[in-house]
Structure 1
Amino acid sequence: MKRYRRIALKILSKSRRSLKKYYKAQRKFLNAVNIYIGPKYGLLDHKIMVGDREIPVRIFRPIKNENSGVMIFFHGGGWVTGNIDSYTNVCVNMANQTGNTVVSVDYRLAPEYPFPCGLEDCYNVTREFFQNPKLLNCKKSDITLIGDSAGGNLAAAVSLMARDKGEFLPSKQILIYPATYNDHTENSPFPSIKENGRDFLLTSRRIQDYMDLYAPNIEDRQSPYLAPLLAKDLSNQPATLIITAQYDPLRDEGEAYGMRLKEAGNKVKIYRMNDAVHGFFSLPWKSEFVVRTYAIINSFLNVCNGKSEELL
């Protein structure tokens, strides 16, 4: 990483503002800086009913609808920030770069709705589309789960929960620098927490704050639906693509999850994005990291769909 970039990241990482105290302001800031300014796109705002409660989703259609693929997307933000508006740029690009329809889930956020509320929303939306794939003019095998950061955690947890409940089972999942463990203190077994936990925007302290807001009940942190790496059995999981970032404190736990999945007999590909920091997936679509990410994603989807034999 170039020296001037490292210095800038170090300065930006020194914020002393308390996430726990100012998370609402952080939400407003993210919405303000992520206004969509790109080309027109096709979308449909929809609601999934669970009992008498509505879960909003936003459906993005690609400019060139080249296939019947569907990506159910869970956004990042530490389970505390982010929504379908702040991730519109990401989802428009995802639809157009993959040719897939993208369904963005506006799950409930902590601390107002702690674990497992957001996860339950993600699971219920996914179940609805798996049980009624005609709603999206697709087959069950066309559906891929995808999420970044906390959203990657949710995608992995939905897949585990789907296997355990036996109501449906995704065939593909894409986890972008996912959180998969429950300890991000100095006691973490993963070197990347110590190596990258101070000077690369996402600090270990901030991850701990997110976890405190998402799972205030300490006992919940032992659930594999909160920390998938704690699952004793990782068999019968989807074909999985995991993309991590070199300077991300979550790097090692994401890669460890991929290795555990592989050891359990699942098909897994793991890529480390060199020179990248946590959050690169939300950069402008012509960023070198984003371009590379979609080349990897499309290669993975082509292999899963039988259109190619090897990933890049």
Structure 2
Amino acid sequence: MNPLIRAVLSLFAAPRLNMREDYPKVRRFQRRMAARPVSRYRVFDRQILSEDGTHRIPVRVFQPRERRREEVLLFFHGGGWVTGDIESYTPACAAMADLTGCVVASVDYRLAPEHPFPAGLHDCLRVAQVLLDDPQRAGIENADRVVLVGDSAGGNLAAVVSLRLRALGHPGAKRQILLYPVTHWDHDPATSPFPSVRNHGEDYRLTNTEVQDYLELYVPDPDERRSPLVAPLMAEDLSGQPDTLMITAELDLLRDEAEAYARALQEAGNTVRVHRVSGALHGFIALPRFSRALRDAYEVINAFLDEDPVARKSDTDGTESAA
């Protein structure tokens, strides 16, 4: 990268925080930044009872200004499994609904460290099962129109939910959109197998140290971090996964592991499309609607949503890739 461009982009780096101590401050800051006029968004809140009946999982449903597609996007937010919620992601989800013309259902899963792995995963899995088993709840005729979507840690959860559904013998979703997801357990530049961890882990939106702190808060047991339920790239069997759109950010330390997961899905016989957003930083899905990175991503997302997964599966068993 041009040194001048690198220097300018470094000005947008996230403040260096000790996430182990500062995560409550980050949560409060995110909510303040996402404060919204009540009349701006067409939303309604629902709750789904957890499988064990011990708590309710909030789900915020966003209606687009103009509904152009039948799909319901089941969204798992980012934030390192530690920060983020349906309040802080409300602007991004409202934009997603309007820019795709789809209903968006955002899941307020439990966060670490108060609720470490696998609590948040169980919440996401439960909501996915309920929606896939009873799609009429969301006003759609069949489960083929449910699309799993997640960014960063939420992309990790979407991928793992798909893996878990297959392991349970559930048909699962037909499609998933993974936005710069976490797929690996090691983000130490000295030991990571991915160049992007070394090249982009210090200067920009997300750092190596922050990702490792998030992982340790989410999964306190070091041995569990290599589980496919935490690091899906470690899964031995990736067959039978949904048609996947993988979107990565050029200047993101997670870029290479996300694209490696896409390749692994392809090699397992799944249909995968990969799109890298040039010049983008981690977390760009939350940028204002006029941003170039956001417009680039939604052009690809809308093209993916326009494809009919049922018809395509009957036409070809191959894979596709676009960089």
TM range (shorter): over 0.9
- The one of 205, 209, 213 aligned to 1:205: 209
Corresponding residue of 1:146: 149
**Mapping 1:159-308, distance limit 5 Å:** 159-185=162-188, 186-304=190-308
- Give the partner amino acid of 2:246: I
Instruction: Call closer, same or farther: CA 1:81–1:251 in 2, change over 3 Å.
Output: same
How far is 1:238 from its partner?
Answer: 0.1
Counterpart code for 1:235: S
Distance (Å, rounded) in 2 between the aligned partners of 1:306 and 1:112: 41
CA distance in 2, matches of 1:311, 1:253: 16
Identical residues among aligned pairs (%): 45
Q: Answer yes or no: is 1:20 the counterpart of 2:20.
A: yes
Q: Does structure 2 conserve the Cα–Cα contact (< 8 Å) formed by 1:76 and 1:148?
A: yes
Matched, 1:131 2:136: no
Distance 1:123-1:231 versus aligned 2 partners, 3 A rule: same
Aligned to 1:104: 106
Q: How does 1:66-77 map to 2 (within 5 A)?
A: 66-77=68-79
Quote the offset at 1:43 in angstroms. Answer: 1.2
**Residue segments in structure 2 that go unaligned for 5+ positions in a row:** none
Q: Alpha-carbon deviation of 1:67?
A: 2.7
Match of 1:94 in 2: 96
| TM-score (norm. length: structure 1) | 0.95
| Counterpart for residue 83 of structure 1 | 85
- Cα distance in 1 for partners of 2:38, 2:66 equals 16
* Alignment TM-score, normalising by the size of structure 2: 0.91
Deviation at 1:311, TM superposition (A): 9.4
Contact 1:303-1:311 at 8 Å conserved across structures? no
5+ unaligned residues in a row in structure 1: which ranges?
A: none
User: Contact 1:299–1:311 at 8 Å: present in 2 too?
Assistant: no
**SS of aligned partner of 1:205:** helix
Distance 2:309 2:213 in 1: 39
Map 1:113-132 onto structure 2 (within 5 A): 113-132=115-134
Deviations 1:69-89 (A, max 9, x none): 100000000000000000011
Question: 1: CA distance between counterparts of 2:117 and 2:178?
Answer: 19
Contact 2:124 2:157 in 1 (8 A): yes
The code of the aligned residue for 1:214 comes to Y
- Taking a change above 3 Å as real, the CA distance of residues 3 and 36 of structure 1, as seen in their structure-2 partners, is farther
Give CA deviations for 1:88-140 in whole Å, capped at 9, x if unaligned: 11111111111111000000001111111101000000101111111011110
CA distance in 2, matches of 1:84, 1:15: 23
Instruction: Check the 8 A contact 2:166/2:241 in 1, yes or no.
Output: yes
Higher deviation after alignment, 296-305 or 168-177 = 296-305
Report 1:3-42 matches (<5 A): 6-11=6-11, 13=13, 15-36=15-36, 40-42=40-42
